[in-house]
Amino acid sequence: MKFKLILFFLFLTISLNATKADEGEVLFNSKQYAKARTVYESLLKQKPNDALYNYRYARCCYELKDPENAIVHFEMSGNKFPIRDLYLGELYFNTYRFDESVMAYQMFMATLKPDDSKIAEYQRKIKLAESGARLLTKVDDIAIADSAVVNKSDFLRFYKFSSELGSLKQEQIKISGRKSADKVTYTTQRQDRVYYSDSIRGQMNIFTSYKLLDTWSEPASISDVINTPANENYPFLLLDGVTVYFASDGENSMGGYDLFITRFTPSTNTYLAPENIGFPFNSPANDYMMVIDEQRKLGWFATDRNQPNGKVMIYTFVPNEVKNIVRSEDKDYVRSVAQLKVYRKVSSLNQENVASVQDRMQESEKQIEFIINDSVVYIQANQFKSEEALRLWPDMLKLSVDLKNVSAELASLRSRYASLENDVDKQAAKQSILDLEKQSIDLERQQKLKTIQIRNEENKFLRQIK
């Protein structure tokens, strides 16, 4: 009797599981993935190593944007379903497991016929994963000061940088059918040159134009090195006048728009080959509009990674003067930094804190007060009439920042000197104080000379137009 009961319950369990399996198959084939996942989750409790159940549960997780569970169960489904390697290739790539992505795509391609029309597409995916693996070896460890989710349609108004860097304008333009794009115009602080994006036959490129006497030069492509058969957009020029940041979704992009840097070489009148600036600035999503204020040590960029449609995240960060590469044997940690899941906050820096960065952000919005003569005082840099005075103004700003930094360092060193007891340390600190005092005096002298020079140029121009 006992044996018959065991057989009965075994038969009942098999029948129930078969019914559930049929239910799961119907739901799965009708693309009701949320309901199907619940069914296959229950089936896996009974048969955790079943290849079909694992594969379909993984597919449900994939469709429901649950990559971690999808990866686990695709891996558990084994080699019975070759297409699982195609899904794994994508999932590994999007979770920054680039070496594994390469292998998964290669395994899937091995199952295809030599003349399969999609081989070129998969080869490109492998190339992107190999590029991601290289970039993952030099992730820049940046400090984030602030972040905000905003509407993409007017995201530029949240870039709080000084007018001394120039200005940016954003417009929406139609490029093909219902598709639209951002037309971004960067104008230099002197207002004598513009860099802007525009559509040519549905493709975005970057153009430039110079201010002539009373007109503008004909728009010209910024460079064939920058503009490619893909889309280039979101230009920004550093104060040095030669370094350009822009975004491209070309073959060297990790997916969507990526941020690139290039520099103009006056001796050859050409730009250097653009370089992908890497992680964590770039991602498999769209990343664009890099702006860096070198004087105030602040930077901004936008990304739509992990954001709903129509929204972007704007990060305010502290640029590293020299790339600070993450050094760790913990691959999960490196991937987290690359994805900006983990990052240094400004408050954790030795010489930075949230208050100082906020002060610099507020300072960037302050008006200037520059005396031209007894009756004229400028409160904004764009009030300068003389092109020469306007050209000299950034030099003046740099001297002011340098003097401020030296003065702060000098004050700190003097304070520390009083607490030193070791004669050797005191002598070294004394010499450093003397060096900084000389540097401070020299900067003050340069600043005074620059002030006189700017004032003279502006007054000379004002007398000419009277």
pLDDT in tens, 324-337: 999 988 999 999 99
Measured CA angle at 95 (ends 92, 96), to 5 deg:
85
pTM for the structure as a whole:
0.72
pLDDT at 443 over 80: yes
pLDDT in tens, 393-412: 888 877 877 787 777 777 76
Crossing angle of helices 51-63 and 2-29, rounded to 10°: 40
**pLDDT tens-digit map of 250-269:** 988 998 999 999 999 888 88
- 170 and 38 share one domain: no
Whether residue 361 is predicted with pLDDT greater than 90 in this model: the reply is no
Q: What digits encode the pLDDT tens for the residues 124-166?
A: 999 999 999 999 999 999 999 888 899 998 899 889 888 889 9
Task: Report residue 423's pLDDT band, with 50, 70 and 90 as the boundaries.
Answer: confident
Is residue 405 situated within a structural domain? yes
- 309 and 374 within one domain: no
Range from 115-119, 217-221, 337-341, 402-406 carrying the lowest mean pLDDT: 402-406
Q: Where in the sequence is the domain holding 419, given as residue range(s)?
A: 370-465
Q: What is the pLDDT of residue 189?
A: 87
Same-domain status, 398 and 296 = no
116 and 164, same domain (yes or no):
no
Q: Kindly state whether residues 129 and 213 are assigned to the same domain.
A: no
Q: What is the model's pLDDT at position 301?
A: 97
Residue 361 domain-assigned (yes or no): no
Q: Are 57 and 158 part of one and the same domain? A: no
- Rounded to the nearest integer, the mean pLDDT of the chain is 86
For residue 362, is it within any domain?
A: no
Claim to verify: residue 90 and residue 157 sit in the same structural domain = no
Average pLDDT over residues 16-45: 87
Which residues lie below 8 Å from residue 458, measured CB to CB, with a gap of 6+? 372, 384, 385, 386, 389
Is the pLDDT reported for residue 11 higher than 50? no
Task: From 69, 103, 137, give the residue that closes a domain.
Answer: 137
133 and 149, same domain (yes or no) = no
Are 162 and 309 members of one domain? yes
Which CATH number is 133's domain given?
1.25.40.10
Residue with the bigger pLDDT between 167 and 408: it is 167
* pLDDT value of position 407: 78
Q: How many domains does the chain have?
A: 3
Looking at the structure, tell me whether residues 188 and 315 fall in a common domain. Answer: yes
Residues 314 and 389 in one domain: no
169, 173, 178, 179 alpha-carbon torsion, rounded to 10°: -60
Model confidence at 351: pLDDT above 60: no
Assigned domain for 363 exists = no
pLDDT at residue 6, as a whole number = 52
Residues 313 and 200 in one domain: yes
